[in-house]
A and B are shown apart, each in its own frame.
Chain A
Amino acid sequence: MADNTFMLEVVTPENILLKEEIQFLVVPGAEGELGILKNHAPIVASLKIGVLKYKMLDETIQKIAISGGFMEVVDNIVRVLAETAEHGANVDVLRAKEARERAERRLAQRSEDINIDRARLALQRAIARIKAAG
Chain B
Amino acid sequence: MAGAGVREFKRRIRSVANTQQITKAMKMVAAARLRRAQEKAEASRPYNETLQGTVARLSAVALDVKHPLLEKRDEIKKIGYIVVTADRGLCGAYNTNIIKMANQSMENIDNNVEKTVIAVGRKASDFYKKRGLIAVDFVNLGDNISYLDARAVAQYVIEAYEKKELDEVFLVYSKFINVLRQVPTLTKVFPLEPPEEKEGLASHLIDYIYEPSAEAILVSLLPRYVGSLIYNSMLEGKAGEFGARMTAMGNATENAGELIGSLTLAMNKARQAAITDEILDIVGGAEALQK
Contacts and interface: CB of A to CB of B under 8 A. Distances in A.
B206 interface: yes
Given A11-B47, A46-B212, A70-B217, A83 B206 contact: no
Among A13, A29, A44, A83, the most chain B Cβ lie within 10 Å of the Cβ of A13
Interface in B155-208: 203, 206-208
Contacts of B1: none
B147 A29 contact: no
Contact of A44 (B40, B48, B150, B210): B210
A42 B47 CA distance: 19
Nearest to A118: B155
Contacts of B38: none
Contacts of A16: 43, 46
Given A13-B231, A70-B221, A83-B227, A44 B208 contact: yes
Given A13-B48, A14-B43, A14-B146, A44 B217 contact: yes
Contacts of A45: 209-212, 217
Interface string B21-55: 00000000000000000001001101110110010
B224 interface: yes
Given A70-B220, A72-B54, A81-B50, A41 B209 contact: yes
A83 B46 contact: no
Contact of A81 (B47, B58, B211): B47
Interface in A67-108: 68-70, 72, 74, 79, 81, 83-84
B228 A44 contact: no
A62 interface: no
A15 interface: yes
Contact of B228 (A13, A34, A68): A13
Given A81-B50, A83-B224, A83-B227, A12 B217 contact: no
Given A9-B46, A16-B46, 16 more contacts: A12-B47, A13-B150, A14-B44, A14-B147, A29-B211, A30-B220, A31-B211, A42-B206, A43-B211, A44-B54, A44-B208, A44-B211, A45-B211, A46-B221, A69-B224, A74-B203
14 contacts: A11-B50, A13-B147, A13-B228, A13-B231, A14-B44, A14-B146, A14-B147, A30-B212, A45-B209, A46-B212, A68-B220, A70-B220, A70-B221, A74-B206
Interface of B: 40, 43-44, 46-48, 50-51, 54, 58, 146-147, 150-151, 203, 206-212, 214, 216-217, 220-221, 224, 227-228, 231
Interface of A: 9, 11-16, 29-31, 34, 41-46, 68-70, 72, 74, 79, 81, 83-84
